[in-house]
Amino acid sequence: MSAAPARRGRLVVAGVVALALVLLGAGYWVFVARTSDSPPPAALDPAPASTGAGTGTTASGSADGTWRVRDDGSSYVGYRVREQLAFLSSPSDAVGRSTAVSGTMQLAGDRVTAVRIEADLTRLASDESRRDNAIRQRGLESGRFPTATFELTEPIQLGQAPADGQQVNGKGRGKLTVHGVTREVALSLQGRRDGGTIQVAGQLPVRMTDYGIQPPQFGPVVSIHDDVTVEFRLIFEPA
């Protein structure tokens, strides 16, 4: 073989390798850019300009009684966890949420006396489908354990009875069941009554290994922290 064809062959191989490296690097950085732009932590939506707008009702009288999660996809339960990506010097937040949520809450004056919430974990979605597919089969194994539940075990004392447009805060304890394991957890929440609805947002800090979950690794994810924040934003209406 002459020197010229051999040289052209080497150039072709080098070009293919360079192209593959560029595409691989681009894939990593697309993943990094999508993952690093995480949604903010769960919080109450801004207060509406006027209560009752769009609901056909206003908040009059007591909020005592049973309220249920509105079945319109406006509520969510999800996770927030720190993960370390290849080629990044510091961790970033991975966030996944499910809007397939149901449940009830009972109020009596300035106390939340009972809560039971159920979420479909097979509907968890983040900004990366590879992450979502991984936790269905490994780690959370939502394919085997599709449902998470939370049940209040003692009343939550609020700063005041829910009044229209005013935020109330509270802390409580309950039982969280995930991955077939039930454990006691502490939660903090904020709530606001807006016309004919009550909005509640909050967090529950947990450890994956407490629930028999081994943090999964996949693709450019080299490690995931054991500590996880379970987040929720729930919209309730009268039952």
The pTM of this model reads: 0.78
Listed in order, strand segments (DSSP E) in the chain are 65-69, 76-85, 92-98, 101-108, 111-120, 147-152, 156-157, 167-178, 181-194, 197-207, 221-238
**For 127, how many CA atoms within 13 A lie in the half-sphere containing its CB?**
15
Alpha-carbon distance of 61 to 164, in angstroms, equals: 10
Residue 201: the pLDDT is 98
**pLDDT at residue 191 tops 90:** yes
Grade residue 106 by pLDDT with cuts at 50, 70 and 90. very high
Grade residue 13 by pLDDT with cuts at 50, 70 and 90. low
**Structural contact between residues 94 and 81, judged by C-beta atoms closer than 8 angstroms:** yes
Closest CA to 230 of 193, 201, 190: 201
pLDDT digits (tens, 9 = 90+) for 117-165: 999 999 999 998 988 988 898 889 999 999 999 999 999 999 889 899 9
Residue 32: the pLDDT is 42
Looking at every residue in the chain, the average pLDDT score rounds to: 82
- Residue 90, both tokens: 């510091």
pLDDT digits (tens, 9 = 90+) for 220-231: 555 788 999 999
Alpha-carbon distance of 213 to 205, in angstroms, equals: 15
